[in-house]
Amino acid sequence: MRSRMELSGYAKSTIISYVRGVRDLMEGLGKTPDLCTETEVIAHLNDWRERRQISPSALNTRIFGILYLYREVYKDRKIRLDIPNPGRSKAIGDILTVTEVSALLAACHYPKQAAVLALLYDTGLRAREVAHLRLGDFDKRNGILYVRYGKGGKHRVVPYGTAVVDSLKAHYEQERPTDWLFEGNEAGGPLSVKAVQYMVREAHRRTPIRKAVHPHTLRHTYAVHYLNNGGTLTRLQQLLGHAHLSTTLLYLRYAAIPLRDVDTPLDVLRGKSRCRR
């Protein structure tokens, strides 16, 4: 299971969490998962939730790990486990205003930090995706970058704006990276996710922003501001790398999309347009 997830490009933290859930299942039931019944697995999960009093998100991660084993590893052996996918939290946390984003970016003290935060907000990439960008992932002619092995091992293409280029150039001039855009402390390795989190936290500390701010806050803020600027939901789904449109729909709660931006079909038919072109 671990090897399959590594080949698929899953994050190290996700692999650890998924494998831990399967390990606890085997220890709790005293046998390998392929010999467990659906009833036994569900009973184990319920028992774990009640005895450990874990959060819903922690329980969800445990369930996803077990489902991954049955659906991806055992699928060739026709072993199935028919338990529903766990529900996800419907809240996405705080969204920053344009003024707050400006304050956060202005609080960066060195080029590397400024480039990391600018990319997080400009592209909506996850912390790990920014940390693992290589110089060769940028297509300067078309203004796009390639996200390789994003969440779930999926690849996607994301455009980047012209304003972020200044931050990237300043970082490059100082650091002179040769492979990874943001090199980490380990020789030849990329920046760690913890380092990205620290950069955001450290900049946040120097601002008057009272909201909780994490790398994912900038991702959520990017999504809402993208919709506010006229972006479409289906395109946003592609940019964020969401497998299901239902996940992207959550951002509509926070967006302020104009209600009168398209003529009604009858107005178009009768030539009574009220929207400016």
Catalytic positions are 126, 151, 216, 219, 242, 251
- Per DSSP bridges, beta strands 138-139 and 144-147 are antiparallel
Query: How many C-beta atoms surround the C-beta of residue 184 within 10 A?
Result: 14
Closest CA to 120 of 186, 38, 49, 213: 213
What's the CA gap between 38 and 1, in Å, rounded?
19
Closest CA to 192 of 200, 202, 182: 182
What's the CA gap between 262 and 138, in Å, rounded?
35
